[in-house]
């Protein structure tokens, strides 16, 4: 409670009261005997103090956390908070003191975004190189894959699509690489390069990951208003459940676009697939066309009686 009050007081123009409450919160946290619980409390307090603008005190608090992993996470969160203030030099200096490769990689990944948003693309590129080098030192395969995937998506958002794709393809775990490429295709689609996103999605060999990528792409295309292309793409998804879910989402997009006839058509296609999981389309039908669902009970009852 003291943590929230301290942040609220400082943000409300009462820095003196906020500082006193932060001190009270720290004193309470120090009385916690369980090391993990104390680390969480101090990390939460450091984050609140940073949010209130007292970065020096937040850093000092984070550095008092004795658990190495918890301290690394707290410092990574603090580096993110500092980067959001625009002080990239301090954020980078802080990130370089983190001694846990995974947390440090994530911190540098955030700095890539901050540098790009500041229009400092050369620095963003160098930070991305530093983040990749750090990710390569992560020994746990899954953690390394997650870090590289997050970095690839971040690089894509800066506009360097070739580098992002090349990085994603270096992920050695096949499932993780497929998921990273699917996420990358979605990022590229959101950026508006629909042709490239589709070409990338088609290269994914894992059926589930490809379905995920194509579904995200179809939704992105629908948002541009090209419902015909979105439908054509959705119908290339080979998994019936995934295709049906995507068609139902497109029906929602068609309704929002003011085209109820198209929405009915898309829902009819979804239902005709006879997918195993019907929750998505019944939910969509009840939301978009409630009169249909109000009459559905009689249909189910007649089917039940005919099979009895």
Does 85 fall in a domain? no
Residues 146 and 273 in one domain: yes
Q: How far apart are CA 256 and CA 99, in angstroms?
A: 49
- Among 66, 83, 106, which residue terminates a domain? 66
- What range does the domain containing 287 cover? 93-307
Does 75 fall in a domain? no
Tens digits of per-residue pLDDT, 149-174?
999 999 998 989 999 999 999 998 88
Do residues 81 and 47 make contact, with C-beta atoms less than 8 angstroms apart? Answer: yes
Residues 127 and 12 in one domain: no
Do residues 156 and 184 make contact, with C-beta atoms less than 8 angstroms apart? Answer: yes
Residues 56 and 127 in one domain: no
Does 131 fall in a domain? yes
Residues 62 and 196 in one domain: no
What percent of the chain is modeled with pLDDT above 70? 83
- Average per-residue pLDDT for the chain: 84
Tens digits of per-residue pLDDT, 201-257?
999 988 988 998 899 899 989 988 899 999 999 999 998 889 988 998 898 888 888
Read off the CATH number of the domain in which 246 is found.
1.25.40
Residues 97 and 38 in one domain: no
Residues 247 and 204 in one domain: yes
Residues 161 and 240 in one domain: yes
Residues 303 and 187 in one domain: yes
Residues 199 and 103 in one domain: yes
Q: How far apart are CA 253 and CA 95, in angstroms?
A: 42
- Among 49, 66, 83, which residue terminates a domain? 66
Higher pLDDT among residues 76 and 284, named by residue? 76
Q: How far apart are CA 126 and CA 95, in angstroms?
A: 14
Residues 295 and 190 in one domain: yes
230-248: buried (b, 16+ CB within 10 Å) or exposed (e) per residue? bbebbeebebeebbbbbbb
Tens digits of per-residue pLDDT, 76-114?
999 998 998 889 999 999 999 999 999 999 999 999 999
Q: pTM of the entire structure?
A: 0.74
Q: How far apart are CA 97 and CA 104, in angstroms?
A: 8
Residues 204 and 119 in one domain: yes
Higher pLDDT among residues 294 and 285, named by residue? 285
Q: Please give the tally of structural domains in the chain.
A: 2
Residues 46 and 103 in one domain: no
If you average pLDDT over residues 58-68, what whole number do you get? 89
Confidence of residue 134 (pLDDT cuts 50, 70, 90): very high
């Amino acid at each position: 409670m003291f943590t929230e009050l301290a942040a609220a007081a400082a943000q409300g123009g009462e820095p003196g009261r906020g500082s006193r409450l932060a001190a009270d919160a720290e004193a309470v946290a120090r009385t916690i005997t369980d090391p993990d619980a104390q680390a969480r409390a101090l990390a939460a307090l450091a984050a609140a103090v940073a949010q209130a603008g007292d970065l020096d005190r937040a850093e000092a608090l984070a550095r008092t956390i004795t658990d190495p992993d918890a301290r690394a996470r707290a410092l990574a969160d603090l580096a993110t908070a500092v980067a959001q203030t625009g002080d990239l030099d301090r954020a980078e200096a802080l990130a370089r003191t983190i001694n846990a490769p995974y947390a440090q990689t994530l911190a540098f990944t955030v700095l890539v975004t901050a540098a790009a948003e500041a229009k400092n693309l050369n620095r963003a590129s160098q930070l991305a190189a530093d983040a990749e080098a750090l990710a390569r030192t992560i020994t746990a395969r899954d953690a390394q894959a997650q870090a590289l995937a997050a970095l690839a998506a971040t690089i894509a958002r800066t506009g360097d699509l070739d580098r992002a794709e090349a990085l994603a393809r270096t992920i050695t775990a096949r499932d993780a690489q497929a998921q990273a490429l699917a996420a990358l295709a979605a990022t590229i689609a959101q950026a508006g390069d629909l042709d490239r996103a589709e070409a990338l999605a088609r290269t994914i060999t894992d059926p589930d990951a490809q379905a995920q990528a194509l579904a995200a792409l179809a939704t992105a295309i629908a948002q541009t208003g090209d419902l015909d292309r979105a439908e054509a793409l959705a119908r290339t998804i080979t998994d019936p459940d995934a295709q049906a879910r995507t068609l139902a989402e497109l029906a929602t997009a068609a309704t929002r676009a003011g085209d109820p006839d198209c929405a009915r058509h898309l829902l009819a296609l979804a239902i005709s697939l006879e997918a195993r999981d019907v929750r998505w389309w019944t939910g969509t039908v009840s939301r978009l066309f409630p009169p249909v669902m109000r009459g559905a009970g009689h249909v189910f009852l007649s089917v039940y009686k005919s099979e009895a």
